Amino acid sequence: MKKREETEALALEALDNAPPSSQLAEPLDYIFAEHFRQRVLCNMLDEIADQERPDKSAIEAVLRYLRVEFAPHMQDEEHDLFPMLRRRAEPEDRIDDVIAQLTQEHAADRLDAKLITEGLAKVLAGKAKTGEASPLAKLLHRFAENERNHLTLENAIILPLARIRLTDDDIRNLAHRMAARRNIKLEEAGNAG
């Protein structure tokens, strides 16, 4: 039981703590770290879905992440990383179909994230339930599965290709845009933790 509590505490800590702002200077590493947090999110969603009485702190952490952190990450990719990669990719990279698929998945993720936040807020207020048979549980599981598949594509194809194709200027521009999206001045990021 103690091991489970420690694991849950680590998951909550990971979900509640963005990568250090200094890591924004290496934006592809920052995105990869965010992908780890999203995997933690998926695991927590699966656990919440299956529990008749899910942990309140887990629900609150999921809500904070979805309300505050999720949208900027998708914007990092859709507004900056994907267009940069499209410009730099070689024809043999055949990246357009992958990016189109990921962009479609992002649109579905945004809708699901909205429904999840609404549903989990109701659970916290005692107006809805989770558990294997509930519609909310099915949504949580579906979102987690879709997100894991999505992260696999990004980690296996997008990020490695970006590391090869993006120029130093692209990386600097990506870093500055991601920092600005988080109201961080990149010069300060090296001193922040």
Residue-range domains of the chain with CATH: 2-189 (1.20.120.520)
* Chain CA centroid to CA 133, Å: 26
Distance CA 112, CA 144 (A): 10
* pLDDT at residue 6 is higher than 80: no
Distance CA 26, CA 175 (A): 7
Mean local confidence (pLDDT), 67-87: 96
Nearest to 146 by CA among 178, 116, 123: 116
Mean local confidence (pLDDT), 111-124: 97
User: Residues near 34 by Cβ (< 8 Å), separated by ≥ 6?
Assistant: 18, 19, 69, 73, 76
pLDDT for 192 equals 45
pLDDT for 132 equals 76
pLDDT for 4 equals 67
Mean local confidence (pLDDT), 81-96: 96
Q: If pLDDT is split at 50, 70 and 90, which confidence band does 9 have?
A: confident
Distance CA 122, CA 87 (A): 44
DSSP 21: G
pLDDT digits (tens, 9 = 90+) for 139-155: 999 999 999 999 999 99
Q: What is the pTM of this model?
A: 0.90
pLDDT for 26 equals 97
Mean local confidence (pLDDT), 110-124: 96
Mean local confidence (pLDDT), 16-28: 92
- Name the average pLDDT for the chain: 92
